[in-house]
Amino acid sequence: GNSVTQMEGPVTLSEEAFLTINCTYTATGYPSLFWYVQYPGEGLQLLLKATKADDKGSNKGFEATYRKETTSFHLEKGSVQVSDSAVYFCALRPPAAGNKLTFGGGTRVLVKP
Amino acid sequence: EAGVTQFPSHSVIEKGQTVTLRCDPISGHDNLYWYRRVMGKEIKFLLHFVKESKQDESGMPNNRFLAERTGGTYSTLKVQPAELEDSGVYFCASSKQGTGNTIYFGEGSWLTVV
């Protein structure tokens, strides 16, 4: 079946530090891959996505590259801010699953000033 | 344009009681989804409506959960009777007609069963 595994948190780091959140997946075929973010008190927001191998999604300074050979979609940001404190979810949507998303467990990130 | 709205934002009920969650999708979105996250675990799919029809309800945990979308606009998710393990966040989402379109989520309804 389809599954997403992401590193457990919480991840605590200082402002301007480099952030990496690992995400690997198992899926049939070639899924689309997503990162969603949930800021405190808010709903899930799409952060970035990639729909085919070697695609790079980027938004708000975050990047993730679809790596088919390692079935990974790691999220990175070069210099985090306090406002990046949130829970980050990696997700996939297999081509045959219509619009159904499969999520990872979420990684809480806390950025301290 | 208004986003996906959910009501109530928080609800605390006793075991055995009934709770009804409501979701208003983005105007014009035919696809409506329910997901939930219980006890800090992963977010799991519950079901998918296309207009008023249930396209996929494979994620519904048991028959204590009933989802409706009369008229193809807003949707309700009723839990009756609620159990302790139903506590969690229930997310509604919507997207435009067809597949491959961006799915927009609401802020979630936080349910606590005591």
Residue A57, pLDDT score: 96
- The pLDDT, as a whole number, for residue B54 is 94
Looking at residue A41, its pLDDT comes to 82
* Residue A43 at interface with chain B, using a CB cutoff of 8 Å: yes
Listed residue (A12, A5, A10) closest to A73, CA to CA: A5
Return the structure tokens found at B53. Answer: 């029809």
Residues in chain B with pLDDT values less than 70: 1, 99
Question: What is the per-residue pLDDT for A94?
Answer: 85
Residues A4-50: tens digit of each pLDDT:
999 888 999 999 999 999 999 999 888 999 999 999 888 899 999 99
Residues A99, B99: C-beta atoms closer than 8 Å: yes
Q: Report the residue of chain B nearest A101, measured CA to CA.
A: B45
Q: How much is the pLDDT for A86?
A: 97
Q: Which of A26, A30, A44, A47 to mutate to test the interface with B (most CBs of B within 10 A)?
A: A44
pLDDT digits (tens, 9 = 90+) for A55-72: 999 999 999 999 999 999
**Per-residue pLDDT, B1:** 64
Environment class of B90 (CB within 10 Å of its CB; exposed 0-12, middle 13-18, buried 19+): buried
Share of chain B above pLDDT 70, in %: 98
pLDDT at A107: 95
Nearest-angstrom CA–CA distance, A93 and A33: 6
Residue B31 β-bridge partners: B50, B95
